[in-house]
Amino acid sequence: MRVGLGTGTTARWFILGLAERVHQGLKLRAVATSVATATLASEHGIVVEELGAAGLDFAVDGADSIDPALRLIKGRGGAMLREKIVAASAERFVVIADDSKYMSVLRGRIPVEVVHFGSARTLRVLADRTSMAWALRIGADGDPFTTDNGNLLADSEYADVTDPAALAAAIDSVPGVSGHGLFLGMTDLVFIGHSDGTVEQLSAPGDTVAAGG
């Protein structure tokens, strides 16, 4: 089995649970979406390899915002470009999240990965084409955040995304942007965890199935 491993706090719990199954004899190979995820998985006995031409059986990741059409905002951890490559390479892309992430419309800051060259101009064009304010993300060290790909990361202003497809198209049209955190039409299955311990399964717009606690 070939499994894609996401990045972030929720994905971390999946990796730790998967490691327990590996220790019990489950055979799999994993592709990590970040250096941090690769390190965590390797430390817990999961074999990590590069993404090959054959793709993946499935991938599991978290999300920052999920709407009823199973569209996502991702990228709080800064790994959304690799996460999108891995998700697109999987036969099934599964998202796990708590119920605070499930919303009537996508809501939050949209991250974009920006190449260094001309980054100030890229942000200006982004603002013009999206009618949103954008700013470079600053890391804990006070310097601009750098992705595992060596690029900069910028975030939009906090907003409701009422037309995700139009916003994604506007962002994609800007030279200098190498990726963004809008995941549209990619998600096959979502598990939403509730505070009472129950889990809700979403597999299609308007179709929910109780999955137990």
Contact, 31 vs 1, CB < 8 A? no
Helices (H), 24-147: 35-43, 80-89, 119-130
Contact, 113 vs 147, CB < 8 A? yes
Q: How many residues are recorded in the chain?
A: 213
- Coil, strand, or helix at residue 119? helix
By annotation, the residues acting in catalysis are 83
Q: Which amino acid is at 154?
A: A
Supply 140's token pair. Answer: 């804990």
Supply 84's token pair. Answer: 């999108």
Residue 57 phi, psi (nearest 5): -75, -45
- Beta strand spans in 99-188 (E): 106-108, 111-114, 134-136, 152-156, 159-161, 177-180, 182-183
Q: How far is CA 123 from CA 35, 52, 114, 183, in A?
A: 26, 33, 9, 21
